[in-house]
Amino acid sequence: MTKNRVVEIILGKLLQIVIMLISIRCLTTYLNDENVGGYYLYNTIFTFWSLFCLNPLAQYYNCNINKWKDDGTVVNKLYIYILATVIVSFIALIVLYFLNDFNLYNSTTEMIIIVCLSIMFVNSNQNIIFLSNILNNNRFFVVSLVFTSLISLFLSLLFLYLFGPSYINWVLGITIGNGLSLFYAIYFFKRKYRYNKKSYRIKYSNFKIIFKFCIPISLATFFMWGLNSGYRIYVDKYIGIDYLAYLAVGFGVSLQIMSVLESLTTQYFQPEFYNGIKSEKISDRVKNIEGYIDNVLGVYLPVVLFIFCYIKYIFPLLISANFSSSLNVVYVAIIIDFFRVITNAVSLIAQSENKTKLLSIPYISGLTFFIISIVFLSFIAIGHVGIVFPFVLLISFLIVFIVMFFIMKNVTSFRINYKLLFKKVIIIIPASLPVLLFDYTYGVSIENIFVLFSGSLIFLLCIWIGYSRGFYAKN
């Protein structure tokens, strides 16, 4: 990877992080508890359709996009994906209206419509942008991400000002922002790649291959959704929208931070990983897997330790004082998200070795434990389930990771370079000094900002020293 590409990625991510931080602050400042809870309930329903129906197809595209580039059918395949999002959105419209009539979840007509629009525009735009990165269109990738984030934030704030502080207006801005970015992405791909008008015929044999690849991933993502988001429906219906807002804000901050970290690492390392899985030699694929896992784990663990140490300084900057109590669950959420991202990294082995049918087992294990635990606790601790709820989720994600690790270990005997990982952790220890030297009081203050700033500088210095010693060289 060239230095220019690294600079583009870093600058793009820094801009995206700034926009993300502003978005979180605005969301918790302008929306009340009920609307924040409503936003996360919307997000739960939206992610179900995205993960269960469209994410498997998106992963199939990730694995095959370079081949389609060679045979000149990239644009055709993108149109087919967009058509798939339209079909899924209409199915979602019918199903959600049906479920709402039976009062199986708390919803409104406006929410159902905005969910369906989001399925079309957000999924299409985000997947096409990600594919551009795999095709090494790095500048377009970075510009599109920043443009989407910026226009979405602007439109969300505009709609809040024009139509009132409602989560529907907030999400409408995000949806339209993604729609505008989608048209730009289609324009870019049509100019960049050949467009074959006769290449829309899909053979029955291709359908069989796609379904064989996608169905196991759909099942896995369904159970993954149950742990990542599905629990919010239970919380909203049986514990309350206020507790959902409290829980979702804490988990949402961690998720946003870890999603940016995961996006940065996958953007940097996944193009090489997907290029490496084309090799017919098992030894080459194992080496490719080991390199990818060592690299992403070597990034995730030091950064997570830093975030865990400094989250009490970061949280007041991101979240309105109205949700200050949500800091209590952020620490648990950070550990959960760490297990989530490393599980995602290890699960790519299934794609490399075409063993996607194994992906369901870990998530079934974790979700089964979660459901049994919540049912049991509901009987013995009625009214107090909310207290232990985050810890039940934590143990469930730990189970998912352990089961996924050993299943993938059985697929390919990959090894993790624990010695190098240990060095990457040890070298960042000095970054904890400011926390130890200064007293802490919750809130936004000059002293807290100084501690966060100085700790960040020391952390970056430690990373630079590690890089200069070869700790972060690609394996």
Could you give the maximum distance between any two Cα atoms of the chain, in Å? 68
The whole-number pLDDT of residue 395 equals 93
Query: Half-sphere exposure (CA, 13 Å, Cβ side) for 176?
Result: 14
Residue 469 backbone phi and psi in degrees, to 5: -95, 5
Closest to 302 in 3D by CA, of 100, 436, 465, 86: 465
C-alpha distance across the termini of the chain, in Å: 13
The whole-number pLDDT of residue 205 equals 52
The whole-number pLDDT of residue 197 equals 59
The whole-number pLDDT of residue 65 equals 83
- Using CA atoms, how far residue 387 sits from 275, 372, 393, 451, in Å, is 46, 17, 12, 31
Cβ atoms within 10 Å of 110's Cβ, excluding its own? 15
Cβ atoms within 10 Å of 371's Cβ, excluding its own? 15
The whole-number pLDDT of residue 206 equals 67
The whole-number pLDDT of residue 258 equals 85
CA 343 – CA 285 distance, rounded (Å): 19
Question: Cβ(135)–Cβ(65) under 8 Å?
Answer: yes
- Taken in order 90, 92, 94, 96, is the CA torsion positive or negative? negative
- Angle between helix axes 282-318 and 3-30 (nearest 10 degrees) is 40
Q: Where are the beta strands (DSSP E) in 205-348?
A: none
Residue ranges in the chain modelled with pLDDT below 50: 475
The whole-number pLDDT of residue 246 equals 78
The whole-number pLDDT of residue 398 equals 94
The whole-number pLDDT of residue 4 equals 64
Token pair belonging to 197: 């008008």
The whole-number pLDDT of residue 472 equals 65
CA 153 – CA 14 distance, rounded (Å): 16
For residue 277, give every residue at least 6 positions away whose Cβ sits within 8 Å of its Cβ, in sequence order, or none. Answer: 63, 285, 288, 351, 352
For residue 333, give every residue at least 6 positions away whose Cβ sits within 8 Å of its Cβ, in sequence order, or none. Answer: 250, 251, 253, 254, 255, 390
Environment class of 237 (CB within 10 Å of its CB; exposed 0-12, middle 13-18, buried 19+): middle
pTM for the model: 0.75
